[in-house]
A and B are shown apart, each in its own frame.
Chain A
């Protein structure tokens, strides 16, 4: 009996050939060598399930989570180190570091006295939600704290993988091209906040801040933008004030 139309069953003597139009025939012919299963399932459904579990956990424990993304060398780790110093214990902070290899970045965070866990992704070019869930077992993330996840330096792949964060924060440094938002639109579309970093170097590079902001808003009209220098401290309080506001909104 045909599993699709029931032809050949005792109730339906008629052959399906006379009942269904041509498209069905084609469909049915295919099934002579197998069974068709409609799935309509997202390729990222597994990751999204883990991300939802993480998000539920963060909500229960009042943890504000940022997923920091950028190309390699935009200054994510320095930004985090300076953020930890500037906030000076206003609220607890923990950091998860993602890199293909080495403990270097986690070591830099731990040197500030902040708990940090390094995830080495090996050949993978991004962090996934399952890895974050496992990291939460090892890393002591206190209730009512800020958890910063520094993703692998890569402006492409991490855009697709939800980790359960409240916001993706994309860091772009002025030593890169000001047209990166157009070159890598997926990431700037997925992020809620853009930090334009290393602004102290603007006199020495050919980076047009206004043009960059224009491009970013073209890709994502709602994106919030803060220009700052992590190493020199220029406009750094705009960033730490934003963080403090978000933490206040949690409680």
Chain B
């Protein structure tokens, strides 16, 4: 359940920005989560309300935007969609370098 730790990080980041960008409430949080990252979106949704309770983001809406995994083949230069980290190149079968899908980001916020 490291999603709970990650959500605690989200809360701390929001609290930091509340000071520097002068807002007192967050009404919406959009996260960008790559499908190859070790994060389970359902676990984030499950924990979000609990972790944000009592903070400036209590009751905020959570949007999770999922990014597909994408790998680049160094050998043949083609890109392939990846479901798991060890998917091979769809064109020549060689190992891929991940170019997208490891993201775990706070994309944006709506604040008051």
Interfacial chain A residues near B104, Cβ < 8 Å: 42-44, 160
Contact with A along B33-66 (1 / 0, CB 8 A): 0000111000000000000000000000000000
Please measure, in the bound complex, the distance between the C-alpha atom of A152 and the C-alpha atom of B111, giving whole angstroms. 37
Contact with B along A145-179 (1 / 0, CB 8 A): 00000000000110111000000000000000000
Which residue of B6, B27, B86, B104 has the most chain A CB atoms within 10 A of its CB atom? B86
Contact across chains for B23 and A186 when beta carbons are under 8 A apart: no
Q: Contacts A124-B5, A182-B86, A185-B86 given: A34-B108 contact, CB under 8 Å?
A: no
Count of chain B residues with a beta carbon within 8 Å of a chain A beta carbon: 31
Please measure, in the bound complex, the distance between the C-alpha atom of A223 and the C-alpha atom of B13, giving whole angstroms. 34
Among A219-234, those with CB < 8 Å from B are 219, 221
Which residue of A39, A156, A161, A218 has the most chain B CB atoms within 10 A of its CB atom? A39
Contact across chains for A31 and B108 when beta carbons are under 8 A apart: no
Q: Contacts A38-B108, A156-B38 given: A44-B85 contact, CB under 8 Å?
A: no
Q: Contacts A30-B110, A44-B9, A156-B2 given: A39-B85 contact, CB under 8 Å?
A: no
Interfacial chain A residues near B31, Cβ < 8 Å: 43
Among B1-47, those with CB < 8 Å from A are 1-2, 5-6, 9-10, 12-13, 17, 21, 23, 27-28, 31, 37-39
The residue from A33, A43, A126, A157 contacting B106, defined by CB atoms under 8 A apart? A43
Mostly, the A contact residues are mixed
Chain A's interface size range is 20 to 34
Interfacial chain A residues near B10, Cβ < 8 Å: 43
Instruction: Say if the beta carbon of B91 comes within 8 Å of chain A.
Output: no
Please measure, in the bound complex, the distance between the C-alpha atom of A140 and the C-alpha atom of B54, giving whole angstroms. 39
Which B residue's beta carbon lies closest to that of A37? Answer: B109
The residue from A34, A160, A215 contacting B110, defined by CB atoms under 8 A apart? A34
Interfacial chain A residues near B109, Cβ < 8 Å: 36-37, 39
Contact across chains for A128 and B111 when beta carbons are under 8 A apart: no
Write the nearest CB–CB distance from B74 to chain A, whole angstroms. 10
User: Could you tell me which A residues sit within 8 Å of B by CB distance?
Assistant: 30-31, 33-47, 124-126, 128, 156-157, 159-161, 182, 185-186, 189, 215, 218-219, 221
7 A-B residue pairs with Cβ-Cβ distance under 8 Å, sorted by A, are A37-B109, A37-B111, A43-B6, A43-B104, A156-B38, A160-B6, A160-B39
